[in-house]
Chains A and B, each alone.
Chain A
């Protein structure tokens, strides 16, 4: 019975195999062609097979070579979620709310990811970023985005 000696590498190798399978799966319809007339699928297919081979080798290695002792890390799920969701929120609300409110909410919320956050600082930082980004990006660099969008009553433009 084989024993996994390096769990991290085992998962890493398996991830690479999974990625290669995904590329093969989604590229199934592409014409592979032959080495003289390579179709659009040739290069991705060969790379996927190569990645699969590398992934399998990493898996084999993880069964043979033991992991070195590494300090365990503490996961900070609240921080991860906030940091990853902030850009998503930004993308979803930018056209509706406009730059200023989007920035204010995104910054104030994401700053809570820090253990040293306090809500006064967060709101101040959000206001500062909202103001400076409006001045910098809509006034000076004239990005096609308005300070207030249609979702904001009274001041929001179309």
Chain B
């Protein structure tokens, strides 16, 4: 079967000693930084992106993927041990995980999270390997009109799932698209919004922009409500689950994995939505629902499996269509472009070693995380005790060097500083930065496909509704938008986010 020969090819890339080492370093660094309070996967990847610039594309992407799950998992550790979710997808883990830790079951909660994540990761990796090639084959039949409509759907869906006001999320997308138009116009070669600055001919650098709005901006927000944190749990013991625990977590892990895999694939979805949804489902169906919120092991098992599955399957639209569904994937797309790989359906046929190597390394990375996290948990507990006032200056220092190293020019450091102000001002006005980054990454692609489609149709905009595929994508986008606009759903959405 094709699948096996492909996985074999991937294994040949992923299990090269150098790539295994990069995967391991990625997981280790990702966990180390993700475990630090206040640093989620997006900020961690934005900070660490520059260190992968010098690597060959396969190694760079394998390492970045490792950083991603490492940071994702590190967030769960902080959620359980100090009730401080490092990122949005571990918010629900904190509810029951922290209660378990207070009852002296921190080890059990961590072990459940690690094993559940590993199982979910394995399933999601297989799903990715099976689903990606046919999806990419369909995507290869897409013309510019279909691509345009697909990106519109992706952007609309990311709005639908963002928390907060719909209009504001739309505004952020459009603002992001506008920022993406800075730089030389691809078709006419005319510079746009350059202001005579030669460094802007290639556009604003997305690493600098994302470091500003996700890294530095987060520090600004944290300094507002700065307080000493204490780690309640100094030593973690009892990392073994007994038979009773296993019986209780099997069904939640399975449900979480299934739900997470599906939700992760949706544009705009990913780990956060998956963990929220699976917690809500588990609370409803579990026979121990009374225990939820007071330290139910199911309340850790289900969302942790779901967010890992969702994190993994969110690679599917990114790898097959070149369309990022969430900010982390937007960063991965940016990393691929920097490495000279054009993201999209051609990656599978043009770069099979890269594609399959990445998939196999995801599984290897998940295995490494179990090994890294359970025996080394003491180390991470120690890292948690580093006080924030010693941490944030170091983060700023690394961001400065990181921004500098993008082009070995200080211009990107200034861009980063500027966008930390922009991001902070926007967050004060309750605008979310995630749709902005998606718009920024997709802007040039959206414009290119729009212009091509209109050229093909000789200026007739009905091309977008004449092709059945493009029409159905636009209809789905319209339905999604209408659903979010309708008040009853709007209320449900609020409920889901406040839970």
Residues of A near any B CB (own CB < 8 A): 8-9, 11-12, 15-16, 19, 23, 26-27, 30-31, 34-44, 47-48, 50-51, 54-55, 57-58, 61, 73-76, 79-80, 83-84, 86-88, 90-92, 94-95, 99, 103, 106-107, 110-111, 113-117, 121-122, 125-126, 129, 133, 137, 141, 143-145
Scan B37-66; emit 1 where CB is below 8 A from any A CB, else 0.
Answer: 000000000000001001000000000000
State whether the Cβ of B1 lies closer than 8 Å to any Cβ in chain A.
Answer: no
Of B193, B223, B417, B424, which one neighbours A26 at CB under 8 angstroms?
Answer: B193
Scan B413-431; emit 1 where CB is below 8 A from any A CB, else 0.
Answer: 1101100110011000111
Of A11, A37, A44, A133, which one neighbours B429 at CB under 8 angstroms?
Answer: A11
Which of B95-103, B123-131, B269-277, B384-392 is the interface stretch? Answer: B384-392
Of A55, A91, A99, A143, which one neighbours B417 at CB under 8 angstroms?
Answer: A91
Give chain B interface residues in 461-490, CB to chain A under 8 Å.
461
Q: Are A110 and B396 in contact, CB atoms less than 8 angstroms apart? A: yes
Q: Are A87 and B429 in contact, CB atoms less than 8 angstroms apart? A: no
Chain B, interface SS category:
helix
Which of B175-183, B282-290, B328-336 is the interface stretch? Answer: B175-183
In whole angstroms, what is the CA distance A48 to B187 when docked? 20
Tell me the minimal C-beta distance from B452 to chain A in angstroms.
10
Query: Taking A43-B181, A87-B413 as contacts, is the C-beta distance between A116 and B389 under 8 angstroms?
Result: yes
Tell me the minimal C-beta distance from A120 to chain B in angstroms.
12
Chain A, interface SS category:
helix
Of A9, A16, A57, A88, which one neighbours B175 at CB under 8 angstroms?
Answer: A16
Query: What is the total number of residues of chain B having a CB less than 8 Å from a CB of chain A?
Result: 65
State whether the Cβ of B451 lies closer than 8 Å to any Cβ in chain A.
Answer: yes
Tell me the minimal C-beta distance from A87 to chain B in angstroms.
4
Of B223, B400, B405, which one neighbours A76 at CB under 8 angstroms?
Answer: B223
Complex: chain B residue closest to A144, CB-CB:
B408
Q: Are B414 and A87 in contact, CB atoms less than 8 angstroms apart? A: yes
Give chain B interface residues in 204-256, CB to chain A under 8 Å.
216, 219-220, 223-226, 228
Q: Are B417 and A12 in contact, CB atoms less than 8 angstroms apart? A: no
Query: Taking A58-B167, A79-B223 as contacts, is the C-beta distance between A114 and B388 under 8 angstroms?
Result: yes
Of B192, B193, B216, B425, which one neighbours A83 at CB under 8 angstroms?
Answer: B216
Of B175, B190, B396, which one neighbours A51 at CB under 8 angstroms?
Answer: B175
Scan B155-173; emit 1 where CB is below 8 A from any A CB, else 0.
Answer: 0000000000101101100
Query: Taking A35-B459, A87-B400 as contacts, is the C-beta distance between A48 and B454 under 8 angstroms?
Result: no
Q: Are A143 and B408 in contact, CB atoms less than 8 angstroms apart? A: yes
* Interchain Cβ contacts under 8 Å between A and B, 30 examples: A8-B429, A12-B429, A16-B171, A26-B195, A35-B459, A36-B455, A36-B459, A37-B455, A38-B450, A41-B192, A43-B447, A50-B174, A58-B167, A76-B224, A87-B216, A87-B417, A91-B411, A91-B413, A107-B396, A107-B397, A110-B392, A110-B393, A110-B396, A114-B226, A116-B387, A117-B389, A121-B389, A125-B393, A137-B401, A145-B404
State whether the Cβ of B113 lies closer than 8 Å to any Cβ in chain A.
Answer: no
In whole angstroms, what is the CA distance A148 to B21 when docked? 33
In whole angstroms, what is the CA distance A76 to B219 when docked? 12
Contacts of B91 in A (CB 8 A): none
Q: Are A125 and B390 in contact, CB atoms less than 8 angstroms apart? A: yes
Number of A-B contacts (CB under 8 A): 190
State whether the Cβ of B5 lies closer than 8 Å to any Cβ in chain A.
Answer: no
Contacts of B399 in A (CB 8 A): 87
Contacts of B420 in A (CB 8 A): 83-84, 87
In whole angstroms, what is the CA distance A129 to B82 when docked? 27
In whole angstroms, what is the CA distance A54 to B177 when docked? 14
Tell me the minimal C-beta distance from B451 to chain A in angstroms.
5
In whole angstroms, what is the CA distance A79 to B400 when docked? 17
In whole angstroms, what is the CA distance A76 to B461 when docked? 51
Contacts of B383 in A (CB 8 A): none
State whether the Cβ of B403 lies closer than 8 Å to any Cβ in chain A.
Answer: yes
Residues of B near any A CB (own CB < 8 A): 51, 54, 165, 167-168, 170-171, 174-175, 177-178, 181, 185, 187-188, 190, 192-193, 195, 216, 219-220, 223-226, 228, 387-390, 392-394, 396-401, 403-405, 408, 410-411, 413-414, 416-417, 420-421, 424-425, 429-431, 447, 450-451, 454-455, 458-459, 461
In whole angstroms, what is the CA distance A38 to B187 when docked? 10
Contacts of A141 in B (CB 8 A): 51, 54, 405
Complex: chain A residue closest to B224, CB-CB:
A76
Contacts of A39 in B (CB 8 A): 188, 190
Q: Are A36 and B431 in contact, CB atoms less than 8 angstroms apart? A: no
Q: Are A23 and B397 in contact, CB atoms less than 8 angstroms apart? A: no
Complex: chain A residue closest to B405, CB-CB:
A143
Of B188, B394, B417, which one neighbours A84 at CB under 8 angstroms?
Answer: B417
Q: Are B404 and A143 in contact, CB atoms less than 8 angstroms apart? A: yes
Tell me the minimal C-beta distance from B207 to chain A in angstroms.
14
Query: Taking A11-B429, A103-B397, A143-B405 as contacts, is the C-beta distance between A114 and B389 under 8 angstroms?
Result: yes
Q: Are B167 and A40 in contact, CB atoms less than 8 angstroms apart? A: no
Query: Taking A19-B175, A87-B416 as contacts, is the C-beta distance between A40 and B185 under 8 angstroms?
Result: yes
Contacts of B175 in A (CB 8 A): 16, 19, 51
Tell me the minimal C-beta distance from A20 to chain B in angstroms.
8
Q: Are A80 and B454 in contact, CB atoms less than 8 angstroms apart? A: no
In whole angstroms, what is the CA distance A133 to B193 when docked? 35
In whole angstroms, what is the CA distance A39 to B192 when docked? 11
Of A11, A15, A87, which one neighbours B396 at CB under 8 angstroms?
Answer: A87
Complex: chain A residue closest to B408, CB-CB:
A144
Contacts of B389 in A (CB 8 A): 111, 114-117, 121
Of A50, A115, A122, A133, which one neighbours B401 at CB under 8 angstroms?
Answer: A133
Q: Which 9 pairs between the two chains have the least Cβ-Cβ distance?
A: A36-B459, A114-B389, A40-B185, A91-B410, A12-B429, A91-B413, A87-B417, A79-B223, A111-B393
Tell me the minimal C-beta distance from B172 to chain A in angstroms.
9
Of listed A12, A23, A115, residue having the most chain B CB within 10 A: A12
Q: Are B192 and A106 in contact, CB atoms less than 8 angstroms apart? A: no
In whole angstroms, what is the CA distance A19 to B193 when docked? 13
